[in-house]
């Protein structure tokens, strides 16, 4: 029923914790709650592990890339190895890549350099891009534009997407640049700008947090055609489990909040966001 469009089964954690998380996913699939999980890389090792998970589990797909936090350890050899992983079966996107000026775990110039190089890689391979952006909104958008992530050429590689509300274009469908703003935390205005450029927004657990009016406004304003749901497990646990470890089945609580905001049923939001995620990542059902 649900597609968790962004999780980290590949995180650095004890083997028994990983096994427990995978077991929770399999139980939720058995129960008909969850269908797919996208395991997203953040450095070379985690990208390898995500690709291994995708090869091992029918419900798992992978993204390969280096997170801004980890760019301080990047080099051209690792980029070549990430490129090799990206070509594997069931590795569907380059990500997560971007800028994080909140933690500054890597120098900003280094973050910028590898963000650009990995957008170029995604363009070379004609693959979707998964973006991490924190306290760097303007620069992330500028770099995406400068590197051609929203170019007409890039949009021509991908099928158009539904636009049932005529939000971008009056004819019922609009261009898709296959650029995903993961755990979107910007304003409704920024969300609108991104969607019009051809991007997709992914909503995570923080939408369930008390007083998060900003993300509630995003969900209320942006049509469901342009939204995905995710957990970012093991981080960002939704209410009412905030403070505990997150796992992909809890994507239900984020989807339920989206449904409440939009006045739809959980089933409707699950079906639409799953279809959106499959189209975004290029997965055939």
Q: How far is the CB of 40 from Ni ion (least distance, A)?
A: 5
* Residue owning tokens 């796992």: 247
Cβ proximity to Ni ion: between 137 and 230 the closer is 230
Please give the biggest Cα pair distance in the chain: 51
d(CA 234, CA 246): 4
d(CA 228, CA 277): 6
Those residues with Cβ within 8 angstroms of residue 274's Cβ, 6 or more apart along the chain or in another chain: 1, 2, 3, 35, 36
Cβ proximity to Ni ion: between 129 and 168 the closer is 129
Cβ proximity to Ni ion: between 147 and 232 the closer is 232
Q: How far is the CB of 50 from Ni ion (least distance, A)?
A: 11
Q: How far is the CB of 9 from Ni ion (least distance, A)?
A: 11
Which residues in 225-254 contact Ni ion (CB under 5 A)?
232
d(CA 4, CA 63): 13
Which residues in 174-233 contact Ni ion (CB under 5 A)?
232
Nearest residue (beta carbon) to Ni ion: 232
Torsion angle (degrees, nearest 10) of CA 238, 243, 245, 248: 0
Q: How far is the CB of 64 from Ni ion (least distance, A)?
A: 13
Cβ proximity to Ni ion: between 163 and 232 the closer is 232
d(CA 127, CA 218): 26
Q: How far is the CB of 118 from Ni ion (least distance, A)?
A: 15
Cβ proximity to Ni ion: between 54 and 174 the closer is 54
Those residues with Cβ within 8 angstroms of residue 254's Cβ, 6 or more apart along the chain or in another chain: 203, 204, 205, 207, 208, 229, 230, 231, 238
Tell me the number of residues near Ni ion by CB under 5 A. 1
Interacting residues toward Ni ion by CB under 5 A: 232
């Amino acid at each position: 029923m649900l597609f968790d469009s962004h999780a980290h089964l590949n995180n650095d954690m004890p083997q028994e914790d990983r096994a427990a998380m995978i077991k929770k996913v399999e139980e939720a699939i058995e129960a008909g709650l969850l269908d797919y999980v996208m395991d997203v890389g953040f450095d070379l090792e985690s990208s390898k592990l995500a690709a291994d998970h995708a090869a091992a589990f029918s419900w798992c797909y992978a993204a390969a890339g280096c997170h801004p936090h980890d760019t301080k350890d990047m080099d051209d050899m690792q980029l070549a190895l990430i490129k090799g992983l990206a070509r594997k079966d069931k590795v569907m996107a380059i990500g997560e890549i971007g800028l994080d000026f909140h933690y500054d775990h890597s120098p900003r110039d280094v973050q910028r350099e590898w963000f650009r190089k990995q957008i170029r890689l995604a363009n070379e391979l004609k693959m979707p891009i998964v973006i991490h952006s924190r306290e760097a909104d303007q620069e992330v958008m500028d770099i995406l534009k400068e590197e051609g992530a929203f170019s007409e050429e890039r949009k021509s590689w991908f099928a158009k997407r539904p636009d049932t509300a005529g939000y971008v274009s009056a004819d019922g469908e609009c261009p898709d640049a296959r650029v995903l703003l993961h755990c979107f935390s910007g304003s409704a205005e920024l969300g609108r700008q991104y969607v019009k450029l051809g991007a997709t927004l992914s909503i995570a657990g923080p939408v369930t947090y008390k007083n998060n009016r900003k993300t509630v406004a995003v969900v209320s304003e942006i049509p469901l055609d342009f939204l995905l749901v995710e957990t970012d497990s093991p981080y960002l646990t939704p209410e009412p489990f905030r403070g505990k470890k997150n796992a992909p089945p809890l994507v239900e609580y984020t989807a339920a909040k989206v449904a409440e905001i939009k006045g739809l049923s959980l089933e409707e939001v699950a079906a639409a966001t799953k279809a959106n995620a499959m189209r975004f990542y290029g997965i055939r059902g």
